[in-house]
Structure 1
Amino acid sequence: MIRKLGENDNERVMDFLKDEAALNLFIIGDIEAFGYDSDFQELWGFYREDHDLTAVLLRFHNSFIPYAKTGKVPVKEFAEIIKSYEEKVFLSGKSDLVEKFENIPGLELGKKQVTYFAECNTDEYFVHTDYEIKTANPEDVDRIIELRSGIEEFYPNPNAREIILQSLKTGTGRTYYLEQEGQMVASASTAAENSMSAMIVGVCTHKDYRRKGLATTVMQKLFKDVMDEGKLLCLFYDNPEAGRIYKRLGFVDIGKWTMYR
């Protein structure tokens, strides 16, 4: 049985998600920040005949994340929910789970990207910088989007401006950046920040300022501030060069994450 989840389900849902808290960072963070009753976020639960919760599906704007502990996700049922939304949708989650949604008739998933999922719980590799690293505010959203739009590896999301603005206003995300000659040239952000962890996203450098260590400098300042608050850092990557940088900063791989955009 599938049904919409509500506030009364929260204790059971969080208990279900916490065993893989890092991999469920987005779902946990969005629930803590926005709850179960908003026009841009919905959650569904799949229950067995014994009323045991076995799978969850999150919709955040036009992005969907399914989760099941054993990988036995109700693919057909969740796919019908996803297909009911007319705008272009994005799907992401644990690779062994979301790849089961491929080839579902009528479900347009877009380009597939498989990444490594990594986490960091040590700051021993961070170094101090003399650069002035700034914290973005809502007035900087268009500058952030402009910088990201010049990054070939990034996939544009039509709701990007709304999502970034919302994260800055609610504290579920933050962006640090570095300027040179008045131009934003490197930045790094968090997303889905919750009481336990934060996802690192949007790490980028303007193409004219690369190979100077600017993004790494911004990252280290961001990482230290987040970890000083007692939070675990998570991220995904698919670029081996980026992976080497993250591992030098203390990240270790814990699984794979697949996105369809």
Structure 2
Amino acid sequence: MIRELTEKDHPIVMDFLLQDPSINLFIIGDIEAFGYHASFQKLWGEFHEGDINAVLLKYFESYIFYCKDKNHFDVSAFAAIMESNNTPVTLSGRTDFVEKFENLPNLILGTKKVTYFAQCGTKKEMQRTETIKKAKVADIDRILTLQRSIDEFSTTDQTKNMLTKAIEAKTGRTYFLENEKGEIISSVSTTAENSQSAMIVGVCTHKEYRNKGYASTLMTALVNDVLDEKQYVCLFYDNPNAGKIYKKIGFEDIGLWTMYR
């Protein structure tokens, strides 16, 4: 049976999601931040003999799915919830789970992108030779100036709002390094911070300052500080060379993550 979840279900839902806190980072964070009755968020659960075995989160127009067993949930029933009148659906989750929704006759998924999902739960010793700063709202414009200078980055009108809200709500933080002119030359951020974990995003270094270890220094400092408060730090990557750097810091691959958008 699939039904919409409410705060009455919260204990059993969290026990279920915390079996895999890293993979469920986004769902846990959204429940902690917005609960079960926000106008832009809904959750559904599938139950079998009183136990929950799958959860679907809708956050605005995006969905995240998680289940206990990829071979034992009602794919068609969850797909019916997501059907959107011939508009491609934005869906993400662990690859072997969400691939079950491919090729269904009544569900159109967005363009598929598969990335590695890695986590780190161990702090790494480091000597800070540079002055690392934690961003405040007043620093966001300078961070965006750096990101806009990098071809691989795609900033939108919402990027500033997202960074601002993350800092103000303490659901994310950004560390950065400056040059002698006060220009930000490297930065790294977290997002979706919850009581258990956080996601690393926005790793970037100005092209003139690369190959000096700045991003690794920032990431190590940020990971260490987050792990003072939480169990895990996570990240996505699809570049094997970047993966080698992350693994030196202490990240380990724990699976694949797929997004259709």
TM category, shorter:
0.7 to 0.9
The match for 1:42 is: 42
Q: Secondary structure at the match of 1:19?
A: coil
* In structure 2, C-alpha distance between the alignment counterparts of 1:259 and 1:94, rounded to whole Å: 9
Relative distance call for 1:242 and 1:53 in structure 2 (3 A) is: same
Amino acid paired to 2:251: F
* In structure 2, C-alpha distance between the alignment counterparts of 1:111 and 1:158, rounded to whole Å: 22
Contact 1:73 1:97 in 2 (8 A): no
Amino acid paired to 1:174: R
The alpha carbon displacement at 1:56 in A equals: 0.6
Contact 1:198 1:233 in 2 (8 A): yes
The alpha carbon displacement at 1:253 in A equals: 1.4
* In structure 2, C-alpha distance between the alignment counterparts of 1:160 and 1:56, rounded to whole Å: 28
Contact 1:55 1:74 in 2 (8 A): no
Deviations 1:11-52 (A, max 9, x none): 01001111111211111122112211223322111223x343
With 82-91 and 169-178 compared, the bigger mean Cα shift is at 82-91
Relative distance call for 1:149 and 1:91 in structure 2 (3 A) is: farther
Relative distance call for 1:98 and 1:246 in structure 2 (3 A) is: same
* In structure 1, C-alpha distance between the alignment counterparts of 2:76 and 2:157, rounded to whole Å: 26
Deviations 1:159-213 (A, max 9, x none): 5444333222221211112223333322111122122222212212233332222
* In structure 2, C-alpha distance between the alignment counterparts of 1:135 and 1:251, rounded to whole Å: 22
Relative distance call for 1:82 and 1:138 in structure 2 (3 A) is: farther
Unaligned runs of 5+ in 2: none
Say if 2:152 is the partner of 1:132: no
Contact 1:33 1:170 in 2 (8 A): no
Q: How many residues align?
A: 259
* In structure 1, C-alpha distance between the alignment counterparts of 2:182 and 2:85, rounded to whole Å: 41
Q: What are the residue-to-residue correspondences of 1:68-107 with 2, within 5 Å?
A: 68-71=67-70, 72-84=72-84, 90-105=90-105, 107=107
The match for 2:166 is: 167
The match for 1:243 is: 243
* In structure 1, C-alpha distance between the alignment counterparts of 2:167 and 2:185, rounded to whole Å: 20
Relative distance call for 1:259 and 1:149 in structure 2 (3 A) is: farther
The alpha carbon displacement at 1:5 in A equals: 1.4
The match for 1:58 is: 57
Contact 2:86 2:108 in 1 (8 A): no
Relative distance call for 1:214 and 1:200 in structure 2 (3 A) is: same
Contact 2:32 2:194 in 1 (8 A): yes
With 186-195 and 13-22 compared, the bigger mean Cα shift is at 186-195
The alpha carbon displacement at 1:122 in A equals: 1.5
* In structure 2, C-alpha distance between the alignment counterparts of 1:91 and 1:75, rounded to whole Å: 14
Amino acid paired to 1:193: E
* In structure 1, C-alpha distance between the alignment counterparts of 2:173 and 2:259, rounded to whole Å: 22
Relative distance call for 1:88 and 1:160 in structure 2 (3 A) is: farther
* Percent identical residues: 53
Normalised by the size of structure 1, how large is the TM-score? 0.86
The match for 2:211 is: 211
Amino acid paired to 1:227: L
The match for 2:226 is: 226
Relative distance call for 1:168 and 1:70 in structure 2 (3 A) is: same
Q: Secondary structure at the match of 2:37?
A: coil
* In structure 2, C-alpha distance between the alignment counterparts of 1:108 and 1:186, rounded to whole Å: 39
Name which one, 1 or 2, has greater alpha-carbon Rg: 2
Amino acid paired to 1:219: M
* In structure 2, C-alpha distance between the alignment counterparts of 1:63 and 1:149, rounded to whole Å: 26
Relative distance call for 1:260 and 1:218 in structure 2 (3 A) is: same
